[in-house]
């Protein structure tokens, strides 16, 4: 299970996310009107990997403020969302009530929640996780085993994530980090950033608002960086079969490099003059 030291890191990250999500949502305009009008925050890549969801039980891990969870529910899934941040879950619950889109949300450390909901024969049809979630997993092998334990036989794990290759570079494109630091926490003194404000309309589906500017998070956090091989190995070692593994030469809504280019579909490309880079990956694995 999770050690005392790692649990302390999880709680520090919880405080940092509680501060950050307030800034994030300040940029997203009238989300109630957006969802009532049939709006969706999902990108084509996750919809393709997920396939049809009508009538399926779906667990959304590290669901943040629930916008993707509600978008998944609008596709017919019975959605349960889990996130460690109090502010995120409070926002998600309120958004579900005010939009009339049914979804269930739980505030919990993902490891605790998964441990409490292991089901040997019954479980979820789909477990979904995306965009920046893996870098907050302190034990990848344990996470994969617990995910398998909440999946129904034949159920699928779907991941859409930013490629770990990107984490090697700073905003200016300078090489500054190792590709992988399996299990080693990386201290981030400035806390979870206002990446929504930075990305602008590329990430804030619907109307983008200026919102909070110059956000400075007073709570530092830690991240964990895993290579693509380590991620696939953890899923395989947990007893799941990888059905699809894709790499994408763009990032959805993430302006990791300050001089990146934006193209149709809110996709972000490397700056002019750079070669094609792996910027996202997608995986579908079957129990």
Could you give the dihedral angle defined by the CA atoms of residues 19, 23, 25 and 28, in that order, rounded to the nearest 10 degrees?
Answer: -170
Please report, in angstroms and rounded to a whole number, the separation of the first and last CA atoms in the chain.
22
Q: Can you tell me the distance from the alpha carbon of 252 to that of 107, in angstroms, rounded to the nearest whole number?
A: 26
Q: Can you tell me the distance from the alpha carbon of 13 to that of 99, in angstroms, rounded to the nearest whole number?
A: 29
Q: What is the pLDDT of residues 125-182, one digit of tens each?
A: 999 999 999 999 999 999 999 999 999 999 999 999 999 998 888 877 788 899 999 8
Q: Can you tell me the distance from the alpha carbon of 223 to that of 12, in angstroms, rounded to the nearest whole number?
A: 11
Query: Residue 204: which pLDDT band, with cuts at 50, 70 and 90?
Result: low
- Coil/strand/helix, residue 286: strand
Q: pTM higher than 0.75 for the full model?
A: yes
Q: Which of 88, 103, 104 is nearest to 28 (CA)?
A: 88
30 compared with 257, residue with greater pLDDT: 30
Angle separating helix axes 4-25 and 86-99, nearest 10 degrees: 40
Backbone angles phi, psi at 229, to 5 degrees: -65, -40
Interior CA angle at 92 toward 88 and 93, to 5°?
Answer: 120
275, burial (CB in 10 Å: exposed 0-12, middle 13-18, buried 19+) = exposed
Query: Residue 208: which pLDDT band, with cuts at 50, 70 and 90?
Result: confident
Lowest mean pLDDT among 25-29, 78-82, 112-116: 25-29
Q: Where are the domains of the chain?
A: 4-286
- Inter-CA distances, 215 with 27, 190, 196, 204, Å: 12, 10, 11, 17
Q: What is the pLDDT of residues 69-110, one digit of tens each?
A: 999 999 999 999 999 999 999 999 999 999 999 999 999 999
Query: Residue 65: which pLDDT band, with cuts at 50, 70 and 90?
Result: very high
Q: Longest C-alpha distance within the chain, in Å?
A: 52
Residue 209 is predicted with a pLDDT of 74
* Tokens 């002019």, residue located: 272
CATH of domain 4-286: 3.40.50.150
Spatial neighbors of 142 by CB under 8 A, at least 6 apart, are 1, 2, 111
pLDDT, mean of residues 65-71: 97
Torsion sign, CA atoms 182, 236, 256, 198:
negative
The winner for highest mean pLDDT among 29-33, 200-204, 278-282 is 278-282
Residue 96 is predicted with a pLDDT of 97
Lowest mean pLDDT among 51-55, 184-188, 270-274: 270-274
225 compared with 120, residue with greater pLDDT: 225
Asked if the model's pLDDT at residue 203 lies above 70, the reply is no
Query: Residue 1: which pLDDT band, with cuts at 50, 70 and 90?
Result: confident
Residue 201 is predicted with a pLDDT of 66
Cβ atoms of 143 and 111 within 8 Å: the answer is: yes
Backbone angles phi, psi at 228, to 5 degrees: -60, -35
Percent pLDDT > 90 in the chain is 73
256 compared with 247, residue with greater pLDDT: 247
Q: Can you tell me the distance from the alpha carbon of 145 to that of 189, in angstroms, rounded to the nearest whole number?
A: 31
pLDDT, mean of residues 189-197: 87
The secondary element (H helix, E strand) that includes residue 161 is strand 151-162
Residue 206 is predicted with a pLDDT of 65
Q: Tokens for 37, please give them.
A: 């009008």
Q: Which of 14, 7, 116 is nearest to 59 (CA)?
A: 116
Residue 224 is predicted with a pLDDT of 96
The winner for highest mean pLDDT among 23-32, 48-57, 114-123 is 48-57
pLDDT, mean of residues 254-264: 75
């Amino acid at each position: 299970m999770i050690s005392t030291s790692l649990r302390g890191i999880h709680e520090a990250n919880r405080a940092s996310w509680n501060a950050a999500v307030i800034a994030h949502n300040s940029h997203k305009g009238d989300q109630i009107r957006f969802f009532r009008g049939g709006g969706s925050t999902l990108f084509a890549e996750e919809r393709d990997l997920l396939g049809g969801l009508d009538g399926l039980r779906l667990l959304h891990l590290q669901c943040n403020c629930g916008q993707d969870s509600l978008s998944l529910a609008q596709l017919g899934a019975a959605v349960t969302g889990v996130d460690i941040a109090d502010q995120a879950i409070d926002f998600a619950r309120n958004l579900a009530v005010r939009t009339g889109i049914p979804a269930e949300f739980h505030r919990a450390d993902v490891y605790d929640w998964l441990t409490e909901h292991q089901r040997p024969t019954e479980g979820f049809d789909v477990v979904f996780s995306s965009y920046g979630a893996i870098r907050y997993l302190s034990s990848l092998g344990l996470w994969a085993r617990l995910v398998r334990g909440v999946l129904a036989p034949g159920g699928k794990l779907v991941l859409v994530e930013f490629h770990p290759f990107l984490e090697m570079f700073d905003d200016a494109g300078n090489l500054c980090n190792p590709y992988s630091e399996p299990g080693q926490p990386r201290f981030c003194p400035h806390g979870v950033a206002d990446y929504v404000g930075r990305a602008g309309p590329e990430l804030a589906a619907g109307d983008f608002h200026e919102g909070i500017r110059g956000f400075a998070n007073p709570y530092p956090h830690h991240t964990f960086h895993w290579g693509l091989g380590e991620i696939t190995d953890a899923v395989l070692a947990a007893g799941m079969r990888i059905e699809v593994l894709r790499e994408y030469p763009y990032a959805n809504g993430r302006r990791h490099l300050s001089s990146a280019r934006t193209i149709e579909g809110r996709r972000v490309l490397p700056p002019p003059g750079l070669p094609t880079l792996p910027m996202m990956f997608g995986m579908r694995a079957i129990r």
